[in-house]
Amino acid sequence: MRPENYQSVNHPPSNEFELFFGPNHPGIEGNYALKVRVNGDEVTSARADGGYLHRGFEKLMEGRLWIQNIALVPRICVPDPVPMEVCYSLAIEELGGIEVPERAQWIRVMQLELSRIAAHLFTFGGHAATTGMYTPMFWGIADRDLILDLFEELSGGRVYHIFNIPGGVRRDLPPGYLDRVSKTLDYIESRLPDYDNLLFTNKVFVHRATGVGVLNQEQALEWAVTGPNLRATGLDFDVRRDDPYLVYDQIEFDVPVEQAGDAWARALVRRSELKESLRILRQVVAKLPSVGGPIRAPIPNPLAWNLPAGDVYTRVESSKGELAYYVVSNGGDKPYRVHVRGPSAMHAVQVLENLVTGARIEDVAQIMFSLDACPPEVDR
């Protein structure tokens, strides 16, 4: 009684053996798998085995109305859903020629940065847990919950908000919301030294992460690496600054860059980015009360909304890397074609396979978490 994938295979005699790393494995990020060939402790070859989370998003979106897809897109990347909504909304607004009110843009930036902080805190926890330190994981998840509370107050949902719609945002901020945001920011900022003490200057973590999964700049560009992983190789590129969308051109922030390109550098870039996100949020909180006006541009009846024919490509910087949507309309009420350019599909397949090869078996999980790939987005 063996299914075809359980047939015993006659390998040529060697010292290697094949290890199934996932999908049911605590060291793997989500429902994803790696088939690793190991010689002793050393990985000789690796093969990414995705598809466990495939739902056929791009096909599903062709069968739904423009507005219905807003509820569908955040499911593509579960830990960081806001950039999905915003990027898709930006695409539709560009296609339909809708001007988003300024207040809605500032609220969107606030959500994007809150989501980035939440995703980075989650990643710190996961990365620390793969090196055997479980306290940062508990801390990160607990601190992330404070941000989820803010989201819940704003939109009613902890994880999926569906708050950004084409034309703006669903509703205005509740009274006293900005005070609570700044209180949470104060708290997270006061926690940063604790994280430094516990994780980023911890000898165990530094020794485990330094020199692991080294990616140089040429390889990174060749393998379509984006986001914090690219900035960890020394390339100074951030979509928020170099191709600004929303109101990022009115906000002051730095783009943290590290040179080493290993797991340690990637963790440091994320840590600095968290601080920059706090800085951006402070500016947003200071600016938002003075920005009045509507929160939503009028859109036609969304149930019978035919967007003009054409195609559009919009991109935003999500916490995982560069996220882009290519949307084609043929003048109908549904998209003709939607392509999602997710960052994790590159990070978790070709980059992970190449970085894992030659590494030691205990570093496989760490490399995967340091690349911060998001399996639902890989498979889509």
Partner 1 sequence: MSTLKNIPVVSHEKPSGGTGNLLANVFDELMAFCRSRSLFMLHYCTGCGAIELPPAMTSRFDMERLGIQPMVTPRQADILLVTGYVSTKTLKRIILTYEQMNSPKYVIGICSCTVNGGMYWQSYATAKKLNDYLPVDMYIAGCMPRPEAVIHGLRELMENIKKGESDNWRDYYRRYDHYLGNQQRLFGENWQTPTDIIGEARHYDLMGPETLGPHTALLEQHQTPLKPFEMTLGLADLPVRKDEPR
Q: Give the binding site for partner 1 (CB under 8 A).
A: 1-4, 6, 8, 12-15, 23-26, 30-31, 51-56, 59-60, 63, 71-72, 75, 78-79, 122, 125, 137-138, 141-142, 144-145, 148, 158-160, 376, 379
Decide whether 78 or 247 has the Cβ nearer to partner 1.
78
Amino acid found at 136: P
In the complex, the smallest distance separating the C-beta of residue 268 from partner 1, rounded to whole angstroms, is 23
Centre a 10 Å sphere on the Cβ of residue 155 and count the other Cβ atoms it contains: 18
Decide whether 1 or 304 has the Cβ nearer to partner 1.
1
In the complex, the smallest distance separating the C-beta of residue 23 from partner 1, rounded to whole angstroms, is 6
Rounded distance between C-alpha atoms, residue 118 and residue 160, angstroms:
13
The answer to whether residues 166 and 89 touch, using CB atoms and an 8 Å cutoff, is: yes
Decide whether 106 or 122 has the Cβ nearer to partner 1.
122
In the complex, the smallest distance separating the C-beta of residue 207 from partner 1, rounded to whole angstroms, is 26
In the complex, the smallest distance separating the C-beta of residue 49 from partner 1, rounded to whole angstroms, is 9
Amino acid found at 346: M
The answer to whether residues 372 and 320 touch, using CB atoms and an 8 Å cutoff, is: yes
In the complex, the smallest distance separating the C-beta of residue 350 from partner 1, rounded to whole angstroms, is 20
Rounded distance between C-alpha atoms, residue 185 and residue 283, angstroms:
12
Decide whether 55 or 339 has the Cβ nearer to partner 1.
55
Residues 6+ apart with CB under 8 A from 85: 70, 73, 74, 161, 162, 163, 164
Decide whether 79 or 227 has the Cβ nearer to partner 1.
79
Decide whether 145 or 222 has the Cβ nearer to partner 1.
145
Decide whether 129 or 359 has the Cβ nearer to partner 1.
129
CA atoms within a 13 Å half-sphere pointing along the CA-CB vector of 153? 14
Question: Where does residue 280 fall: left (phi above 0), alpha (psi -120 to 50 degrees), or beta otherwise?
Answer: alpha
In the complex, the smallest distance separating the C-beta of residue 368 from partner 1, rounded to whole angstroms, is 14
Rounded distance between C-alpha atoms, residue 214 and residue 106, angstroms:
37
Decide whether 51 or 300 has the Cβ nearer to partner 1.
51
In the complex, the smallest distance separating the C-beta of residue 144 from partner 1, rounded to whole angstroms, is 8
Decide whether 82 or 215 has the Cβ nearer to partner 1.
82
Angle at 270 between CA 130 and CA 154, to 5 degrees: 100
Decide whether 27 or 294 has the Cβ nearer to partner 1.
27
Centre a 10 Å sphere on the Cβ of residue 352 and count the other Cβ atoms it contains: 24
Dihedral sign of CA atoms 371, 374, 377, 379 in order: positive
- Work out the widest C-alpha separation in the chain, in whole angstroms: 73
CA atoms within a 13 Å half-sphere pointing along the CA-CB vector of 23? 10
Write out the DSSP string of 107-149: HHHHHHHHHHHHHHHHHHHHHHHHTT--HHHHHHHHHHHHHHH
In the complex, the smallest distance separating the C-beta of residue 224 from partner 1, rounded to whole angstroms, is 25
- 164 exposed, middle or buried (CB, 10 Å; 0-12, 13-18, 19+)? buried
In the complex, the smallest distance separating the C-beta of residue 52 from partner 1, rounded to whole angstroms, is 5
Looking only at the bridges linking them, the beta strands covering 33-39 and 42-49 are: antiparallel
In the complex, the smallest distance separating the C-beta of residue 59 from partner 1, rounded to whole angstroms, is 7
